[in-house]
Amino acid sequence: MPQPPAAALALPLLLLLLLLVVRTPPPTGARPPPGPDYLRRGWLRLLAEGEGCAPCRQEECAAPRGCLAGRVRDACGCCWECANLEGQLCDLDPSAHFYGRCGEQLECRLDAGGDLSRGEVPEPLCVCRSQRPLCGSDGRTYAQICRLQEAARARPDANLTVAHPGPCESAPQILLHPYDVWNVTGQDVIFGCEVFAYPMASIEWRKDGLDIQLPGDDPHISVQFRGGPQRFEVTGWLQIQAVRPSDEGTYRCLARNALGQVEAPASLTVLTPDQLNSTGIPQLSSLHLAPEEEAESEEGEDYY
C-alpha cells in the first residue's frame, strides 16, 4: 500500500497546532505573554480576520497612540487607527484602503507638482483643506489649521487652541543676519538680512553709528528687497561694488514695524593687494566665505 507523502501529512498537523496555540487557554499560573495587552488583542483580531473582515469586537482592537492627524476607522470600520498626515500618500478612492485615509481637516488630492514631461506620475497626497495662516494661543503663527492641530496633539498638556484667524502680530525677528566679510579692493561685497514680522517689516541699511540710510547718493552702493522666502518674511541685500578702503566699517541691518525694531551688525574689512600678499593667504575666495560655508569647505563631502 503506498504511503502518503510527508508534505501531505505536515500541513494538517501544522493547522492543528496553530488552532491549539490560538484557542487553548493558558494553564493556571502561566506567565502572561510579553508586550502590552492591547497589542496582543490586536494580533488575535488580525489572525481571526485574515484577508476579510471578522465580526467587530472592539475589545480586541489595538489602541493607536501618537496620532498627530487624528484617528480614522480601519478598512473594516471597526477599530481606530492613526490617520495620515499632510504630505503622506493616501487613497483617492474612499472604498480603498491601501495607503490609508487622511486625518481631520485633510483631503486626498493628486500632487501635480512633478514634472510630467519627464514621466513623473502624480501621486495622491493628503493636503490641508485650508491654507490660511492663524495665530495659536501660544503666540506662534501657524501656516494653516492642520499644522496647529499637529502641534496641539504633540503637546496635549499645552491646551493649544486658535487665538484668532491670521498671523500673530509680532515685532521683527531677524532670521538670517549679515555675516562679517573681508575682501580686497576692487572686489564686490554683498550683505544679506532675512526678517520675519507681522505686520511686514521694513529693512534699512546704515553704516557705523550714522543715521544716514544707505545707499544715499553713493553710486557704488545699492540695496534690494523682496518678500520671502517664507510668508510674512522680507529679505534685503546691501551690495558694494568695487570696494575701497573707505568702505571699511560696520554695517547694520535695521528692521522695524509698528510693534518694534531690531538690528544686526556685520563688519567689512578691506585689504589692498599688498596687504593680502603680506598675509600669505594663497586664495582670495577663502576670504569672504560665510561661517557655514567655511565649515562645509573644511568638512568636504562628508559634511552631511
β-strands 233-240, 221-227 pairing: antiparallel
Picking from 168, 165, 265, 175, the residue whose alpha carbon sits closest to that of residue 228 is 175
Residues 273 and 192 in one domain: yes
Is residue 2 assigned to a domain? no
Residues 107 and 177 in one domain: no
What is the pLDDT at residue 290? 43
Is residue 148 assigned to a domain? yes
Is residue 285 assigned to a domain? no
What is the pLDDT at residue 239? 96
Is residue 125 assigned to a domain? yes
Residues 119 and 142 in one domain: no
Is residue 28 assigned to a domain? no
| Domain of residue 271, residue span | 171-277
Residues 122 and 219 in one domain: no
Is residue 246 assigned to a domain? yes
Is residue 47 assigned to a domain? no
Is residue 138 assigned to a domain? yes
Place of cell 499560573: 29
For the chain, how many structural domains are there in total? 3
Instruction: Look up the pTM and report it.
Output: 0.56
Question: Which CATH number goes with the domain that contains 80?
Answer: 4.10.40.20
- The full DSSP string for the chain is -PPPPHHHHHHHHHHHHHHHHHHSPPPTTPPPPSS-HHHHHHHHHHHHHTTS-PPP-GGGS------TT-EEE-TTSSSEEEPBPTTSB--SSTT--SS--B-TTEEEEE---S-GGGTPPP-EEEEES----EEETTS-EESSHHHHHHHHHH-GGG---EEEESPPPEEEEEEE----EEEETT--EEEEEEEEEESPPEEEEEETT--PPSSTT-TTEEEEEEE-SSTTEEEEEEEESS--GGG-EEEEEEEEETTEEEEEEEEEEEE-HHHHHHHT---GGGGG--HHHHHHHHHGGG--
Per-residue pLDDT for the chain (304 aa), expressed as one digit of tens each?
A: 555 555 555 555 555 554 444 444 444 444 444 444 444 444 555 555 455 788 898 888 988 999 999 999 998 889 999 999 999 999 998 888 889 999 999 999 998 766 666 767 889 999 999 999 999 999 998 989 999 999 999 999 999 999 999 999 999 999 999 999 999 999 999 999 999 999 999 999 999 988 889 998 889 999 999 998 888 899 999 999 999 999 999 999 999 999 999 999 999 999 988 877 777 665 544 444 444 444 443 443 332 2
Question: Which CATH number goes with the domain that contains 224?
Answer: 2.60.40.10
